[in-house]
Structure 1
Amino acid sequence: MTKSIHCDRCLKEIRIKGDLVTATMFFQVVPYHEDCYAKDLKGAKTLLLNNQPINGFSGNFLTLLAIAVFIASFFIDDNSMIYLSVLALIAILYRLYSFFIFERHLEK
């Protein structure tokens, strides 16, 4: 039971997990082919599109860092850690959303 995932730029189907790049646009996670992302979207960092992929190495590293910050915020008694933990939780939720909506439906 696989779901059909289509590139947001070229509208072709993405079949392989290694070809998928997810990024945020207007607070929404959108899928791209790796080539489409590299050609047109990687260099354009705007308010609408973040140029870091959610499911790449940097996205996974930032998610692990966000998990560490989120857990550490429970042990540090500082009011500013509340805001930092909320930002970390947002990064974690974006990564989980990307996995459950797009990545788990594709072949390795």
Structure 2
Amino acid sequence: MSSIYCRYCGKEIKDRDELVTATNYFRIQPYHWRCFGKVEEETIAVTKTWKPLNGPSGTISVVLMLLLAAVMAFTDVLGEIGNLIGVLSLYPIILRVLSYFLFESKVPDLQKTK
């Protein structure tokens, strides 16, 4: 397994419980959960906000967007606009999957060994 390093402090992330993957538009970055708190404190503009992908808020967002994409894809709600909304709602799902395969799967889950 390759090591994952925090983008804030540069130290290795050794446990999946320490890992927070966050997104800002098309970028996905790994942080320690404490470092992510510092990044949030230093944020001065709404456009520079980092949103966590893993955790309860990210999971709820993915589930809701998956439901929206399914409804828009398999029904005729809003016609062609609904199809466009369905495709756009796949964005957070793709980010979450990328986050899992790029970062979370490479960090060991030490909670199981404790």
Range into which the TM-score falls when normalised by the shorter chain:
0.7 to 0.9
Q: Is the 8 A contact 1:26 1:49 kept in 2?
A: no
Secondary structure of the residue that 1:11 maps to in structure 2? coil
Partner of 2:75: 76
Please report the RMSD computed on the Cα atoms of aligned residues, expressed in angstroms: 1.7
Secondary structure, in 3 states, of the residue corresponding to 1:13?
A: coil
Q: Which has the larger radius of gyration?
A: 2
CA contact (8 A) 1:23 1:49 kept: no
Q: For 2:68 and 2:42, locate their aligned partners in 1 and report how far apart those are by CA, in whole Å.
A: 28
Instruction: Give the equivalent residue in structure 2 for 1:106.
Output: 107
Shift of 1:56: 1.1
Structure-1-length-normalised TM-score: 0.88
| Percent identity (aligned) | 33
Q: CA deviation at 1:87?
A: 2.1
Quote the residue 1:89 is aligned against.
Answer: 90
- Aligned-residue offset at 1:26: 4.7
Distance change (3 Å), C-alpha of 1:72 and 1:99 = same
Q: Counterpart of 1:37?
A: 36
Deviation at 1:43, TM superposition (A): 7.0
Q: Which residues in structure 2 correspond to 1:41-52 (within 5 Å)?
A: 41=40, 44=43, 46-50=46-50, 52=51
**1:33-82: CA deviations, max 9, x gaps?**
000011232673632333x3100100011101111111111222122212
Higher-helix-fraction structure: 2
Taking a change above 3 Å as real, the CA distance of residues 56 and 43 of structure 1, as seen in their structure-2 partners, is farther
| Gap regions ≥5 residues in structure 2 | 110-114
Q: Please identify runs of 4+ aligned residues in structure 1 that moved more than 4 A.
A: none
Secondary structure of the 2:23 match is strand
Matched with 1:63 is 62
Displacement, 1:98?
A: 0.2
When the two structures are superposed, what TM-score results if normalisation uses the length of structure 2?
0.83
8 Å contact from structure 1 (residues 6, 14) kept in 2: yes
Which residue is equivalent to 1:14?
13
